[in-house]
Each structure stands twice: as structure tokens, then as C-alpha cells.
Amino acid sequence: AGARHAAQKRPYAPPVTAVGDGAALACQALDMLRLPPEHRRMQRASGVGLAAMAAMARGEAPDGAIPHYLRLSQAERERLRRENGKG
């Protein structure tokens, strides 16, 4: 449901590259997503920097490298669990 909701907002024009451990599943559900090679599916902070550098080299503002998460991070989920007295 979260992936479908995120796709309805469509903050970016397709194609959108899906990364992370759920990328393959998301790509099966949403045809606007593209799946990178397996060795590039897990995002790294350095990738954001490289994307920003490439944008700047083209004379563009590097503001397009903003992550859009479909779910809360594990740290955020654990914090909420503690705050709600469930862990």
C-alpha cells in the first residue's frame, strides 16, 4: 500500500530508479520504476555525492538527489516502538 501511495504523488517523472532491499519487489508492482544492476541496488551516501557532482558538472542544481523513503528506517521504527511502550 505504501509503494502505491508514493507512486500516486509522483514527485518525479518516470523512469525512477528503485534501490534498497525492496527494489525488485517494488519494480514488479510499479512499471514507472527501473531496477539497477544488482551490484548497485543498495544505496550508499557516496552515490548521493556523485549524483550531485554530476548535476553540478552539467550546470544544474544538485537538489534532485533527495531520497524518498517508502517506510520508516529501522532506527525510526525502533524509536517509535520504545516511545509507544512496545519494546
Quick one: pLDDT at residue 19?
85
What value does the mean pLDDT take over residues 54-77? 82
* Residue 15 · residue 32 · CB < 8 Å: yes
Rounded distance between C-alpha atoms, residue 9 and residue 77, angstroms: 23
Tens digit of each residue's pLDDT (9 = 90 or more) over 1-56: 444 544 455 566 767 888 888 889 988 998 889 988 888 888 777 877 888 888 88
CB atoms within 10 A of CB 33: 19
> What's the whole-model pTM score?
0.42
pLDDT band at 78 (very low <50, low <70, confident <90, very high): very high
User: Could you write out the DSSP letters of every residue in 34-78?
Assistant: E---GGG-S--HHHHHHHHHHHHHTT--STT-----SS--HHHHH
